[in-house]
Structure 1
């Protein structure tokens, strides 16, 4: 499956917009691709991150017709978290789409 960065970022922004509908004004997330998404300075706790990732997976599925898994052991164990910003998450989604869709790199012969 081919997923462009622009499509992935748009899906991430849609997920943020969806999350923001249920958040008070002072807790709303930014759609700035470089704003802190998770970690120090973030509005999200771990439950909020899970909800955002699930929404992002849904929006990516709607955009591509494919089921992408963005929450995986591979993502969690990375030195630089794909959850640090929308840009990082969109880049990670493109990477996952280029692999086998599970977050694990496809095996090579």
Structure 2
């Protein structure tokens, strides 16, 4: 089971990846960053390229922070319902599951 510290660190990494995305976007295209931020599907402000960018950045950040390579887009992730990219909280839970 993940510790609260690990959960906080994972959430911080997700926010870091989203902030990096915002740095590449115009001022009027900034996404609001929070636990309920929609990443994929209805209500998401991310296009597919932006989502891929966030995922790649996040895989690198997690690997650097925890010393473990993870894949967020493998068959396991894509076959889940809902997919782990529905929002920030779902992505955090999935990453914690992978790190467990």
Normalised to the residue count of structure 1, the TM-score between the two structures is: 0.80
Matches for 1:1-109 after TM superposition, within 5 Å = 4-98=6-100
What is the CA distance between 1:91 and its match in structure 2? 0.8
What is the CA distance between 1:13 and its match in structure 2? 0.4
User: Using the alignment, how far apart are the partners of 1:37 and 1:24 within structure 2?
Assistant: 18
User: Using the alignment, how far apart are the partners of 1:19 and 1:77 within structure 2?
Assistant: 26
Q: RMSD in angstroms over aligned alpha carbons?
A: 1.5
Greater share of residues in helix: 2
What is the CA distance between 1:5 and its match in structure 2? 1.4
What is the CA distance between 1:82 and its match in structure 2? 0.6
What is the CA distance between 1:37 and its match in structure 2? 1.4
Q: What SS does the corresponding residue of 2:24 show, helix, strand or coil?
A: coil
Contiguous gaps of at least 5 residues in structure 2: none
Runs of 4+ in 1 over 4 A off after TM superposition: none
Contiguous gaps of at least 5 residues in structure 1: 99-109
Number of positions where the alignment pairs a residue of Structure 1 with one of Structure 2: 97
User: Using the alignment, how far apart are the partners of 1:27 and 1:73 within structure 2?
Assistant: 31
What is the CA distance between 1:61 and its match in structure 2? 1.6
